[in-house]
């Protein structure tokens, strides 16, 4: 059965004190939730993945060391193993501190840092080589949707970014569909729009890798997902959770999203 996942992308937000407060509140809620679930014998909890800024990674990893159901990853990695790349962090470094996940291809990296499909494929190789689970982001811009090119755009991003892999490698990949027009805008894709694109993405995986790979792939929705709309979005059969930006900075909202299955 494929995993349900709720991931929090903090981006470049929070002081260390604020980050500590956020995770300690989250942990209290998760502890209580686990106790409730054990009492009810229920097990449909999503995996939670936190993506703090690099500088807080080891602190947050310590908080959730050996804590079942919470993983910690980075928002980016460099495409090389090591060397003269001032200011950069490699996938092997992430692995060495205990990170398990990395986001690759977020639209802010594509747009503001000029990361193209070729570079993103290199980053995916690094992530896999270092045994990280890569959360690969794809999604169209508004004019692309308005001109009916959104399926083609997403298909191209997926083919170039990750569909060169072997089937086995897909086990370490999660796809996040994040329409650029919905990120940080307060405009969310409708549940039907999300389901339609997620089903399309799954069909691309199926065409190339077969139904087993397609059925095992977790496909997350991202883009102004919040405590109010998460349940409706996640109720779609091809939406396996969310990559959450702004709402992941508010402990109560993020926790409500975690409970939206
Ligand atoms: C994101 O940046 O991945 C994201 C989904 O942001 P927001 O939830 O704020 O739209």
Among 109, 113, 181, 246, which is best to mutate for testing ligand 1, by the most ligand atoms less than 8 A from CB? 246
Ligand 1 center from residue 52 Cα (angstroms): 13
Q: What pLDDT, in 10s, does the model give residues 47-92?
A: 999 999 999 999 999 999 999 999 999 999 999 999 999 999 999 9
Please state, as a whole number, how many other Cβ atoms lie within 10 Å of the Cβ of residue 185. Answer: 12
List, by residue number, the catalytic residues: 106, 178
Q: Which of 78, 129, 86 is nearest to 104 (CA)?
A: 78
- Tell me the CATH number at 231: 3.20.20.70
Q: Domain range spanning residue 89?
A: 5-258
Q: Give the pLDDT confidence score for residue 33 in this predicted structure.
A: 83
Domain count for the chain:
1
16-40 vs 251-258: helix crossing angle, rounded to 10: 30
Q: Give the pLDDT confidence score for residue 40 in this predicted structure.
A: 66
Q: Enter the pTM of the model.
A: 0.96
Ligand 1 center from residue 206 Cα (angstroms): 27
Q: Give the pLDDT confidence score for residue 140 in this predicted structure.
A: 98
Ligand 1 center from residue 179 Cα (angstroms): 10
Distance CA 187, CA 184 (A): 8
Specify the residue with its C-alpha closest to ligand 1, atom 1.
245
Q: Give the pLDDT confidence score for residue 64 in this predicted structure.
A: 96
Q: Give the pLDDT confidence score for residue 37 in this predicted structure.
A: 67
104 phi and psi angles, rounded to 5 deg = -125, 130
pLDDT along the chain (261 residues), means of 10: 95 98 96 74 81 98 95 98 97 98 98 97 98 98 98 98 97 98 96 98 98 97 98 98 98 96 91
Contact 154, 198 (CB under 8 A): no
Does residue 243 have its Cβ closer than 6 Å to ligand 1? yes
State which ligand 1 atom lies nearest to the alpha carbon of 184.
10
Distance CA 95, CA 127 (A): 9
Q: Give the pLDDT confidence score for residue 34 in this predicted structure.
A: 74
């Amino acid at each position: 059965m494929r995993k349900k996942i709720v991931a929090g992308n903090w981006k470049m937000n929070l002081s260390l004190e604020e980050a500590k407060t956020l995770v300690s509140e989250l942990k209290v809620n998760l502890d209580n939730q686990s106790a409730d679930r054990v009492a009810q014998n229920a097990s449909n909890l999503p995996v939670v993945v936190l993506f703090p800024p690099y500088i807080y990674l080891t602190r947050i990893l310590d908080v959730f060391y050996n804590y079942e159901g919470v993983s910690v990853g980075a928002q980016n990695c460099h495409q090389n193993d090591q060397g003269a790349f001032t200011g950069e962090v490699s996938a092997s470094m992430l692995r060495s501190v205990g990170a398990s996940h990395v986001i690759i291809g977020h639209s802010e990296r594509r747009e503001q840092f000029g990361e193209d499909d070729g570079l993103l494929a290199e980053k995916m190789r690094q992530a896999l080589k270092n045994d990280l689970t890569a959360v690969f982001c794809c999604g169209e811009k508004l004019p692309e949707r308005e001109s009916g090119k959104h399926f083609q755009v997403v298909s191209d991003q997926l083919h170039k970014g990750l569909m060169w892999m072997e089937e086995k490698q897909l086990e370490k990949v999660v796809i996040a569909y994040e329409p650029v027009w919905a990120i940080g805008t307060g405009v969310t894709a409708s549940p039907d729009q999300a389901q339609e694109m997620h089903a399309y993405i799954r069909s691309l995986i199926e065409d190339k890798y077969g139904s087993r790979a397609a059925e095992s792939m977790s496909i997350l929705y991202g883009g102004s997902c919040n405590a109010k709309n998460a349940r409706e979005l996640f109720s779609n059969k091809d939406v396996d959770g969310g990559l959450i930006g702004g709402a992941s900075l508010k402990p109560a909202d993020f926790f409500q999203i975690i409970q939206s299955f």
